[in-house]
Amino acid sequence: MSFRHVTHFTVEFGDCDPAQIVFYPNFFRWCDAASRHFFVAAGVPLWSELEQTTGIIGTPLVDASARFLRPATYGDAIEVETMIDEWRGKSFVMKHTLRRAGEVLVEAQEIRIFARRHPEDSKRIQAVIAPDGIRRLCE
Amino acid sequence: MSFRHVTHFTVEFGDCDPAQIVFYPNFFRWCDAASRHFFVAAGVPLWSELEQTTGIIGTPLVDASARFLRPATYGDAIEVETMIDEWRGKSFVMKHTLRRAGEVLVEAQEIRIFARRHPEDSKRIQAVIAPDGIRRLCE
Amino acid sequence: MSFRHVTHFTVEFGDCDPAQIVFYPNFFRWCDAASRHFFVAAGVPLWSELEQTTGIIGTPLVDASARFLRPATYGDAIEVETMIDEWRGKSFVMKHTLRRAGEVLVEAQEIRIFARRHPEDSKRIQAVIAPDGIRRLCE
Amino acid sequence: MSFRHVTHFTVEFGDCDPAQIVFYPNFFRWCDAASRHFFVAAGVPLWSELEQTTGIIGTPLVDASARFLRPATYGDAIEVETMIDEWRGKSFVMKHTLRRAGEVLVEAQEIRIFARRHPEDSKRIQAVIAPDGIRRLCE
ipTM metric: 0.90
Average pLDDT over residues B28-52: 90
Contact B67 A63 (CB under 8 A): yes
C85-127 pLDDT, tens digit per residue, is 999 988 999 999 999 999 999 999 999 999 888 888 877 788 9
Question: Helices A25-42 and B25-42 sit at what angle, rounded to 10 degrees?
Answer: 170
Strands B4-10 and B77-88: antiparallel
3-state SS string over chain A? CCCEEEEEEECCHHHECCCCCECCHHHHHHHHHHHHHHHHHHCCCCHHHHHHHHCEEECCEEEEEEEECCCCCCCCEEEEEEEEEEEECCEEEEEEEEEECCEEEEEEEEEEEEEEEECCEEEEEEEECCCHHHHHHHC
Q: Which residue in C13, C33, C36 is closest to A36 by CB distance?
A: C13
Instruction: Give Cβ neighbours of residue A116 (< 8 Å, ≥ 6 apart).
Output: A51, A54, A55, A56, A57, A125, A126, A128
Average pLDDT over residues C62-85: 96
pLDDT beyond 80 at C136:
yes
Percent of chain B whose pLDDT exceeds 70: 99
Q: Which residue in D28, D47, D73 is closest to C28 by CB distance?
A: D28
pLDDT beyond 90 at B1:
no
Q: Establish if B12 touches chain D: CB-CB under 8 angstroms.
A: yes
pTM of this structure:
0.93
Query: Considering only CA atoms, which of C117, C126, C112, C27 is closest in space to residue C61?
Result: C112
Give pLDDT, residue D52: 83
Q: Which residue in B36, B58, B73 is closest to D12 by CB distance?
A: B36
| Bridge partner list, B58 | B115
Active-site positions of D read 17
User: Which chain A positions have a beta carbon within 8 Å of D18's beta carbon?
Assistant: 13, 16-18, 20, 73-74
Q: Establish if C70 touches chain A: CB-CB under 8 angstroms.
A: no
User: Which chain C positions have a beta carbon within 8 Å of D66's beta carbon?
Assistant: 63-65
Active-site positions of C read 17
B51-108 pLDDT, tens digit per residue, is 888 888 888 899 999 999 999 999 999 999 999 999 998 899 999 999 999 999 999 9
pLDDT beyond 70 at D1:
no
User: Which chain B positions have a beta carbon within 8 Å of C18's beta carbon?
Assistant: 13, 16-18, 20, 73-74
Q: Active site residue: B15, B17, B32, B121, which one? A: B17
Q: Establish if C28 touches chain A: CB-CB under 8 angstroms.
A: no
Smallest CA–CA distance, residue A61 to chain B, in Å, is 7
Give whichever of A24-28, B111-115, D119-123, D132-136 has the largest mean pLDDT: A24-28
Given a contact cutoff of 8 angstroms between Cβ atoms, the answer to whether B46 and B52 are in contact is: no
Smallest CA–CA distance, residue A42 to chain C, in Å, is 15
Give pLDDT, residue D2: 84
pLDDT beyond 80 at A83:
yes
User: Which chain C positions have a beta carbon within 8 Å of B49's beta carbon?
Assistant: none
Give pLDDT, residue B4: 97
